[in-house]
A = this chain, B = another copy of it.
């Protein structure tokens, strides 16, 4: 917005990107202002607060950048053009691929960066918890849609089957953080989908 005045001497977008990676890797409380300012090119405190407002505001911005980019891998869960089973499988495979791709931290920022920590971060934990809840509900909708279109029998335990995929999706973040490769994760996903297929071929 400012038309006049001394221009900022650092690239704000690049700074947010590096902050996103730091929070993703170490969690909100695991990153200090010093680290943030250093990776942003050694800017001063004054510059930091003028540009971002506070550490918490920066985290919120970093998280929304994450959701708008890397986090899109679970969009498949809501892709009505795909069959319900494919929505889940695509989301799993894209998540596994993204979370093990070099160039950024492993695992998922929503799952890892604000899950545990002191009570002072309750508000931020709520942000990521809401995202996880949204995915949870989308997975349930995939199962109910499959029952409605006859892919899965009507007596399927909707919540239980959805929780299985939900839990596995969350677990992928921890596997990736522990160093598991994308190939192995893809094999694991193939096996997870067998739980769905077992129900799909069950006698009605």
| A132 close to chain B: CB less than 8 A | yes
**Given contact pairs A31-B118, A199-B194, A163 touches B178 in the complex (Cβ within 8 A):** no
**Given contact pairs A30-B29, A169-B171, A197-B198, A191 touches B157 in the complex (Cβ within 8 A):** yes
Nearest B-chain residue to A119, judged by Cβ: B26
> Contact between A175 and B163 (Cβ–Cβ < 8 Å)?
yes
A187 to B155, CA, bound (A): 13
> Contact between A171 and B160 (Cβ–Cβ < 8 Å)?
no
> Contact between A117 and B180 (Cβ–Cβ < 8 Å)?
no
A interface size (C-beta, 8 A): 52
A136 to B132, CA, bound (A): 25
| A172 close to chain B: CB less than 8 A | yes
Query: Using Cβ atoms and an 8 Å threshold, which residues of chain B touch A89?
Result: none
Query: Using Cβ atoms and an 8 Å threshold, which residues of chain B touch A170?
Result: 170-171, 174-175
CB-contact partner of A118 in B32, B119, B172, B186, under 8 A: B32
A112-127 interface mask toward B, CB cutoff 8 Å, 1 = contact, 0 = none? 1101111100000000
> Contact between A187 and B27 (Cβ–Cβ < 8 Å)?
no
> Contact between B187 and A195 (Cβ–Cβ < 8 Å)?
no
> Contact between A30 and B171 (Cβ–Cβ < 8 Å)?
no
Query: Using Cβ atoms and an 8 Å threshold, which residues of chain B touch A133?
Result: 178
Query: Using Cβ atoms and an 8 Å threshold, which residues of chain B touch A14?
Result: none
- Interface residues, chain A, CB within 8 Å of chain B? 25-27, 29-32, 111-113, 115-119, 129, 132-133, 136, 157, 159-161, 163-164, 166-172, 174-175, 177-178, 180, 184-195, 197-199
A-B contact pairs, 27 of them (CB 8 A): A25-B116, A112-B115, A113-B116, A116-B177, A129-B178, A157-B190, A160-B186, A161-B187, A161-B188, A161-B191, A163-B184, A163-B185, A163-B188, A164-B168, A164-B187, A166-B175, A167-B171, A167-B192, A168-B168, A168-B192, A169-B171, A170-B174, A170-B175, A191-B195, A193-B195, A194-B195, A195-B195
